[in-house]
Structure formats: structure tokens, C-alpha cells
Amino acid sequence: MVSVSSVSPRARALRLGAVAATASVVLGAGMVAAPAPAHADVLGDIAGAILNNGAAQGVLSTWGIDACGNGAKGSAGKADCTQGTGNGVAVVLPGTIKVIPLNQAKPEGSAKVIGSGTQFALAQTGGNATAISYLPLSLATAGASGGRTAMSFALIGMANAWTTDSTTVSDGVLNVVKITVPGIKSVSCFGMLTAAYAEDAGACVNVLGTFDGKLNLTKSLPELQLGLTNPVGAFMNPQDVLTEFIGNVFSGNEFNPATLFTDDIARLSIGGDNLLALTSDYGLQPISNTSGAIALSWLGGTIYLMPAVTVNGKIAANALGLPKFDLDGLGDMNKIVPTLRTGKIKTPVLGTTVDGLDTGSVTSGLGTQQLTSSSLASPSTATSSPATRSRGTGADLDGAASSDEVTTDPVTTDPVKVDPVTEGGTSSEKAPSDDAVVN
């Protein structure tokens, strides 16, 4: 038997990306159709025409699938589209889908779409999924399984609520090939007024693309985030959006338009991986991914303030984080002068950054200069050399030296003439001694 199972974070992220991409295409089509109200639900009409006729319902029931499109006749088993007037599809699947539908299980659960926007609802194994959206520029998706509940609402924007288990697809006869499609547990909101709830996954709300709140129940320690965001941040740095999206896909991070398409002015995180964090995409940035935004160094040791943390897949400085200490090089007397260093400063103006402060470039070498100067004044320079004592001044030998006599400076070793007047006294005061004359 060949079994293909893909439940890795990367696969889950790819599935989330596929859902988001599909939703964006559908939403984009709705945006194009918006200027013509009479045709605003063209996709819904097409889906309804395909899914709501008797022939299609007979084929789908063979595989144990209930599905419908928006419209007055949009109802099939436990899939309900009767309250949808826009572009909506509701699907109820069995827990295992057989390509050759022999003894195919019946679908369990309920899926419902409501409103004039674009919706998609998926249910299986007893789940209850409801997607509600109004106005053409609105998208709501919901998925639930295992008896859990998921609901999403969007009014000009996007809301996603998913709490599904893995789905198995087999050949249905020999069970030689089995493909396991991973489930999704995630919520995301972004737009003028959006909200979502998924049991065992979390909840979110977003207002005007500026006020963002999210409860994440998928982490070992639940996390609550409250954010004030810049809704045009993505337009300032479109290349960063693509980079972040690709990074999230390959790292397994969930798709979250509220953080992908915006910049955080301020975000408070309670619980989760960081326990307590206050971060921003603006202001001081971390010096490195493992240090902090401010570094105070002295005698080889360093204290990092505003340590770096990861929030929603982005590295940021935590204004509420405990300091980090790097004391591996503590005790280096060549670094006696304290230094201050900061990371770059990011501004909201087109994502421009300003270089941080670094006092180390100004004070470097001051400590070593002080030590070098003091080392020159060694005890050996305080006494005279033997040559000086033997060829000293008249004061040293109780007499005046010859005017041609030279001696050696113990520090500079340059020849120095000895003035018998200044060194040995004036000629009127002291007469040269016979013992002091050097032939």
C-alpha cells in the first residue's frame, strides 16, 4: 500500500496559501463585477446553475457529497445556500472520500452561506460551518469538522475561520493508494468590519484595517494579541509583503492578512511564546535577531535592552522584555570606557530607516591610551643610570663638570650637554674640583 501523508507545517501553510489565493481570485472577480449591480452575483449564478440542478446533485450524492450554490434552489441535504444572494458555495463532505464510490459514507455536518458578498463553507464529520458576507468586496470562509463550529463574517474585507481535521482520499477498492489532506486550524480577519470564530482554533476581529484583535488557541499556551496597525503599510513596502508571505509558507506560519498587509504601530501580546511583549514595526529595531535594540557595553560585558522577539513571523524589539546579558568577555580592561549602541530606526515614511547611535566609534582607544601613558612612568626612569652617576654634574660629585662633558638621558637616550652653571652652580659660587675634571 502506498500512503501519502502531508501534515507538516509547511503543507498546512501551503493549503492556507491556496485557500487565500483562491479567495483572492474570487474576491477580485467580485471587485471587477461590482460596478454592474445586475451582474454582481455572476459567479453565484454560474455556481448555482452547475450545482443546483438535478443531474449534478445525483453525481455528487454518489460520492457522498452535499453541495449547493447561492440561489432560491440552493439547498442540498445539509448544505444550505438559500440565504445567499452573492457568490457563495457550501459543501458537506464525508470523512473519507473514495475515488471509486463503493459503499461511500454519507456526509455529516452542516454548511451554510449567507449574504450578498462572496462566501465558502465546508463541513464534514459533524462539523458546523457558517460564512456570512455583505457587499461585493467582502469574502468570508469557514470550515469545521469533528463536531466543532466555525463562523465568519465580513463587511468589506476578509474573514476566515477554520477548524478541520485531516481528510483521507482512497481508491475505494483495494485501498492501495491513500492520500491524507491535512486539516486547518486558523482564524484571520482584515477589513472594514470582520470577525471570525473557530472552535479549538481561536477568534479574531478587525475594524477599519486598524484595530486588530486575535485569540490564538493553537499554541501550547494560548495567546491574546491587541494591535494598532497602519493599513497602508503594505503599499509602502510591497517587496516586504511578498518576502513575508513566502517566508511564512516555507516556515509553516499561518496566513494572516491583518499582519501581512499592514505595519504594526503597536502590538501587545499576552501569553504564547513570549509571555508578554509590546512591539512595533516602527522605531528602534533589534541590532540582530538574537540581541536587542539597545546595547550597553563595559569591560567586555554587554547588556541588551528591548530584546528581540518573534511576533507573527516578524522580528521586533520587545519594549517590555527582560534585559539580556552577554558576560563572556567581562573583565577586559582595554574596554574601560562604557559604550552605547542602538539598532536602526524605522519610520512610517515609505519604510525609510535612520542609522542608530554608536558611541564606540568615538571612544575607542581611550582606555588603552591611558594605560600606555601610565606604563611609561616606570620606576626605572626615576633613578639615574650608571653612566650618569659616573659622569654626573658638579652637584653629584661635589664639583663642577667640564663644559664639554655630555651625558645620556635615560628616557630619550639623546646626548645632552651639561651646563656647569645651571647644573653645578656658577663659577663664583663653586670652583671646579680637581677630582671632577675629566681629561
Q: Read off the pLDDT of residues 178-233 as tens digits, 9 standing for 90 and up.
A: 888 889 999 999 999 999 999 999 999 999 999 999 999 999 999 999 999 998 87
Q: Which three cell numbers stand for residue 113?
A: 452561506
3-class SS of residue 172: coil
Would the pLDDT of 366 be above 70?
Answer: no
129-138, 185-194, 340-349, 428-437: least confidently modelled range: 428-437
Which pLDDT score, from 0 to 100, does residue 171 have?
80
Which pLDDT score, from 0 to 100, does residue 332 have?
83
Does residue 44 or residue 27 have the better pLDDT? 44
- The arithmetic mean of pLDDT across residues 299-316, rounded, is 92
49-53, 278-282, 295-299: least confidently modelled range: 49-53
Among residues 356, 358, 225, 339, the alpha carbon closest in space to that of 283 is found at 356
What type of residue sits at position 92?
A: V
74-78, 108-112, 121-125, 158-162: least confidently modelled range: 74-78
Which pLDDT score, from 0 to 100, does residue 378 have?
43
Which pLDDT score, from 0 to 100, does residue 206 have?
96
**Burial code of 2-34, b = ≥16 C-beta within 10 A, e = fewer?**
eeeeeeeeeebbbbbbebbeebeebbeebeebe
Q: Which three cell numbers stand for residue 227?
A: 494591535
Which pLDDT score, from 0 to 100, does residue 248 have?
55
Q: Is 3 left (phi over 0), alpha (psi -120 to 50) or beta?
A: beta
- Residue 44 contacts residue 84 (beta carbons within 8 Å): yes
Q: Which three cell numbers stand for residue 381?
A: 626612569
- The arithmetic mean of pLDDT across residues 65-70, rounded, is 87
Does residue 367 or residue 103 have the better pLDDT? 103
Highest averaged pLDDT of the listed ranges 59-63, 233-237, 388-392? 59-63
Which pLDDT score, from 0 to 100, does residue 113 have?
94
**What is the radius of gyration, based on Cα positions, of the chain?**
40
Which pLDDT score, from 0 to 100, does residue 41 have?
59
Sequence-distant contacts of 324-332: CB under 8 A, at least 24 apart = 324/291, 324/292, 325/301, 326/301, 326/302, 327/301, 327/302, 328/300, 329/300, 329/301, 330/299, 330/300, 330/301, 331/299, 331/300, 332/299, 332/300
- Residue found by looking up cell 508571505 in the block: 245
Among residues 2, 60, 12, the alpha carbon closest in space to that of 179 is found at 2
